[in-house]
């Protein structure tokens, strides 16, 4: 049986504030561009801290993946739009740098704009941010 993580949103927010980033990237499917998506990343040379943060997010139903970037750096990525909404909502009170506050504002503006995303998924995302 897995032990519950001792992390709190405060810890994840501060970690993202120092080691993370957020961006709006291109969504590709079989090499074809399918649109743009918001992503949140935390990069680190060591795998273990990212695994612990990933477990914390999984316990809170936020899907994330850890990628190896050239074998020397690892990146935890949250890319499902509903999960990006929720992640930003929970870490925002703990972000102290102006750069990341601007990133949160930019990602929220992108996520709130009308798009070609199916209406039901959009409503799910908006409900998730209002928790």
Structure tokens at 99: 């750069």
Domain-by-domain residue ranges, the chain?
9-129
For range 29-35, the mean pLDDT: 73
For range 21-49, the mean pLDDT: 84
Per-residue model confidence (pLDDT) at position 120: 57
Interatomic CA distance for residues 47 and 25, integer angstroms: 24
pLDDT band at residue 125 using 50, 70 and 90 as cut-offs: low
The separation between CA 109 and the C-alpha centre of its own chain, rounded to angstroms, equals 15
Is residue 22's pLDDT more than 50? yes
* Start-to-end Cα distance in the chain: 28
pLDDT digits (tens, 9 = 90+) for 47-91: 999 999 999 999 999 999 999 988 889 999 998 888 998 999 999
> Quick check: 77 and 61 in contact, CB under 8 A?
no
Residues 6 or more apart in contact with residue 80 via CB below 8 angstroms? 63
> Quick check: 42 and 20 in contact, CB under 8 A?
yes
Per-residue model confidence (pLDDT) at position 129: 64
Question: What topology is assigned to 9-129 in CATH?
Answer: Endonuclease I-creI (3.10.28)
Angle between helices 81-91 and 9-19 (to 10 degrees): 100
Per-residue model confidence (pLDDT) at position 37: 85
Task: Tell me the percentage of the chain whose pLDDT exceeds 70.
Answer: 82
Interatomic CA distance for residues 12 and 10, integer angstroms: 6
Per-residue model confidence (pLDDT) at position 130: 63
pTM of the model: 0.80
């Amino acid at each position: 049986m897995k032990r519950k993580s001792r992390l709190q949103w405060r810890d994840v927010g501060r970690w993202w504030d120092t080691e993370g980033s957020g961006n709006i990237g291109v969504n590709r499917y079989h090499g074809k561009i399918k649109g743009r998506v918001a992503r949140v990343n935390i990069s680190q040379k060591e795998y273990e801290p990212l695994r612990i943060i990933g477990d914390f997010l999984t316990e809170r139903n936020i899907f994330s993946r850890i990628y190896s970037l050239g074998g020397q750096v690892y990146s935890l990525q949250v890319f499902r739009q509903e999960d990006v909404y929720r992640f930003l909502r929970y870490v925002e009170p703990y972000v102290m740098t102006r750069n990341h506050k601007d990133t949160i504002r930019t990602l929220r503006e992108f996520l709130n704009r009308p798009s070609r995303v199916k209406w039901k998924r959009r409503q799910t995302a908006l409900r998730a941010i209002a928790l």
